[in-house]
Amino acid sequence: MSDTTTLDWWHLLCGIAGLNLVAWTLSTAWLHRNRPDGTTWPHQRLQLMLSALYVLGCGYRCLLPVFDVPRVVMVDSWASSVLVGRTVATLAELSFAAQWALLLRGAALASGHGPSLWVSRAVLPLIAVAELHSWHAVLTTRNLGHVVEETLWGTVAVLSVLAMLSLWPRASARGRRWLGLAVVAGSLYAAYMFTVDVPMYWARWLADEAAGRPYPTLAAGVADAASRWHVSHDWARWRSEVVWMTLYFSVAVWISIALAHVRLPLRMERATP
């Protein structure tokens, strides 16, 4: 594959970023025109704000893609540095996790289901720990941190799916439609994480260990991540990142935007027999 293939993919990411921004803007305008009752609107407004952070964060990463551990970038700029990119990613990912936590919390409170409420409270702390492991992996270039990070993301997805399935008998017909979509999305995500992403980082970790790769300290890693980046449009360098980046910056963003349209409490009263 030539550099042209890499550039075509990058241009696709940039196009997706623009599409996502338009989609969020239109979505927000529609929600404002069709503003629901006062009980539901504060939840949706908060979802919109969190979604905006995620849309903007993913858009930034589309325009300035970074392959963190080898410090490979598309654009020769300080804005492409791993330190900046990882900071943007952390804020965006915590915002996305907060959206899921809010959805679960609202559904759990509406149905009075205690276990689901506990899951909703666990989402953000678990993802915060995942982000810490991500930072450790990026700064020290130890892929083992990414293994832990992705395992935690997959675990949160599994817990969320189980919580939503437990809410199913208590949900109204409209609630079940949203729960069904969420269960499918969460299941597909968890399957991808545990069958593709986690094994990929585990294989990279084993390869690094077998090669006796030296790892910098955290302090040295901070300096390195802030000041060193290698511009490359070589498809061989980016190929392993293409699938997850493309799906992450498209489908995940669309889910984030859609979450603002869920009107809690979804009439989550117990369904009549």
119 in Cβ contact with 104 (< 8 Å): yes
Residue 88: its pLDDT value, please?
Answer: 97
Q: For residue range 109-121, list pLDDT tens digits in order.
A: 877 878 899 999 9
Residues 24, 55: contact at Cβ < 8 Å?
yes
Mean model confidence pLDDT for the chain: 91
Q: Would residue 197 count as lying in a domain?
A: yes
Q: pLDDT at position 89, please?
A: 97
In this prediction, residue 39 has a pLDDT band, given cuts at 50, 70 and 90, of low
Work out the number of other CB atoms within 10 angstroms of the CB of residue 108: 25
Cβ atoms < 10 Å from Cβ of 118: 13
Q: At residue 270, does pLDDT exceed 70?
A: no
Per the domain annotation, does 171 fall within a domain?
Answer: yes
Residue 273 has pLDDT above 50, yes or no: no
Overall average pLDDT of the 169-182 stretch: 82
Query: What range defines the domain where residue 190 resides?
Result: 3-259
- Report yes or no on 270 lying in a domain: no
Q: 196-199 long-range contacts, Cβ below 8 Å, gap at least 24?
A: 196/243, 196/244, 197/150, 197/154, 197/244, 198/147, 198/150, 198/151, 198/154
| Three-state secondary structure call for residue 148 | helix
Averaged over 60-83, what is the pLDDT? 95
The predicted model scores a pTM of: 0.91
Q: Residue 24's Cα: distance from chain center in Å? A: 16
Q: Is the pLDDT of residue 269 over 60?
A: no
DSSP 66: E
Q: 172 in a domain, yes or no?
A: yes
Q: Tell me whether the omega of the peptide bond preceding residue 125 falls within 30 degrees of 0, making it cis.
A: no
Nearest-angstrom CA–CA distance, 238 and 72? 8
| Ramachandran angles phi, psi of 206, nearest 5° | -65, -40
Give the sign of the dihedral formed by CA 156, CA 157, CA 158, CA 161.
Answer: positive
> CB neighbours of 125 closer than 8 A, spacing ≥ 6?
none
Q: What is the C-alpha separation between 272 and 258, in angstroms, rounded?
A: 28
With respect to residue 265, please indicate whether it lies within any of the assigned structural domains: no
Kindly tell me if the per-residue pLDDT of 271 is higher than 50.
no
Please report, rounded to a whole number, the percentage of residues in the chain having pLDDT higher than 90: 76
User: Could you tell me which residue, 153 or 44, shows the higher pLDDT?
Assistant: 153
Query: Is the model's pLDDT at 272 over the cut of 50?
Result: no
**What is the total count of domains within the chain?**
1
CA distances from 132 to 102, 123, 125, 156 (A): 22, 14, 11, 15
Q: pLDDT band for 37, please (50, 70, 90 cuts).
A: low
pLDDT at 2 over 70: no
pLDDT at 111: 79
169 versus 46: the higher-pLDDT residue is 46
Q: What is the mean pLDDT of residues 152-158?
A: 97
Percent of the chain, pLDDT > 70? 94
Q: Answer for the pair 167, 268: CB distance below 8 angstroms, yes or no.
A: yes
Q: Is residue 214 part of a domain?
A: yes
Q: Give the lowest-confidence range in 47-56, 98-107, 261-270.
A: 261-270
pLDDT of residue 267: 52
Q: Is residue 272 part of a domain?
A: no
Residue 73 lies in a domain: yes
Q: What is the mean pLDDT of residues 125-152?
A: 97
Higher pLDDT, 40 or 128: 128
Q: Coil, helix or strand for 4?
A: helix
Per-residue model confidence (pLDDT) at position 108: 86
**Which of 67-76, 184-193, 224-233, 264-273 is predicted least confidently?**
264-273
Least confident of 63-72, 131-140, 179-188, 261-270: 261-270
